[in-house]
Amino acid sequence: MAELVGNLLVAQSGGPTAVINASVAGVIQEAGKHECIEEIYGGLNGILGILNEELIDINEEKAKTIEGLKYTPAAGLGTCRYKIDFKKKPEQASKDMDRLFEVFKAHNIRFFFYAGGNDSQDTAHKIHEEAIKRGHEMRVIGVPKTIDNDLPHTDHCPGYGSVIKYNAATVMEVAFDVSSMATDDGSCCLIEVMGRAAGWIAAGTVLAKRLESDAPHIILMPEIPLNEAVFLAKVKETVASHKYCIVVVGEGLKNAAGEEIGADKSRLDAFGHPVLSGAAERLAEIIQGKINLKTRTVKLGYAQRAAEHYASLTDSQEAVACGEAAVKAAVSGQSGLMVKIVRTQTSPYKWTTGLQPLGDIANVEHFLPRDWVTEDGFLPNQKFIEYARPLIEGEVKVPTEGGLPKFAVLEKVRIDKQLPPHVK
């Protein structure tokens, strides 16, 4: 195969993680080693920014800043939740593709890397297929990212190890606080974590348990419908034994009818899903109303995916490696693939990277296996613990200034636009 020469474009989309910028750093640093890659561009705010021809010149950034992305949270290039939807919006999707390839051709983009989760890999897959259809020689590689850990065919997703490391530590800290105030009346603290359809994040907090009596005492995962009566009995039993009960709940927890208990159906997100406004609050209402127990709620929200100060070093190193592997694959002539993490050994933990066709990844969700959860459905079992424990090892050393983290900030020098303004 003849060597493909041209410019590289990297972008991010979906919810950020503590290590998504590390993947971008891996792409950029590896790209600099290959002469076939002439210019390195970043797309601002994902595919939405590319449609608007909002590109920046990565070569104008300092090497120190790119290295600094490895310990900087959020999406350094900016992100979006824009979906190219041929099924529901075929006319708009066709226009979007026309515009994307106008941008690609105007800036001689021959290498495209998209870091993100399910929808992002779907977008990368569509771009790969369109490039073939249009005869535009181009290498498209997806870079995995999602704290939800729900991408198939990869052992786990960059971002997951860091979120469960922070969440497990937070559960331990909150539990120490709550237990120190435990009285004969008892109390229950409900900690809500992210995870709409999959319970990987909630399950990860089980790593906080060193003794059977330690928190979390109950973990509620979206895959397992809530049996209200059994749940309330478990809370009462736990409070009777310990004077307090710590419950971790995934935001997408469902009732017996399969309805999300925290959903606000009057408000929809960018993908048409009801906004999840408070599974923990709903459970608190149930507990207070049915067993008259004092409750408190904690919602970790954005903090759990932005906690770079307590990110997993293993997670960060894997994120960088995924970015590097993406470039190596593209330069070698491969396209239409996503980088995946392959576990070769659990104890001691060993891993490598591999590649999977984007068509196998796009819009497919990987759920927590039922046999990784105790029979009563309230805690992950030893199988899950052995899987998850290696992913939180090590700490990212974040530079500080004035006692607080010092994160990298890109200069974002814009590339001159070559096209008329984008019209939706």
State the binding site for Mg(2+): 118
Which amino acid makes up residue 247?
Answer: V
Q: Is 264 a catalytic residue?
A: no
147 neighbors 132 (Cβ within 8 angstroms): no
Q: Which of 148, 214, 264, 371 is catalytic?
A: 148
Nearest CA-CA partner of 138 in 328, 4, 10: 4
Nearest CA-CA partner of 104 in 71, 80, 138, 63: 138
Nearest CA-CA partner of 76 in 49, 98, 39: 49
Residues labelled as active-site residues: 148
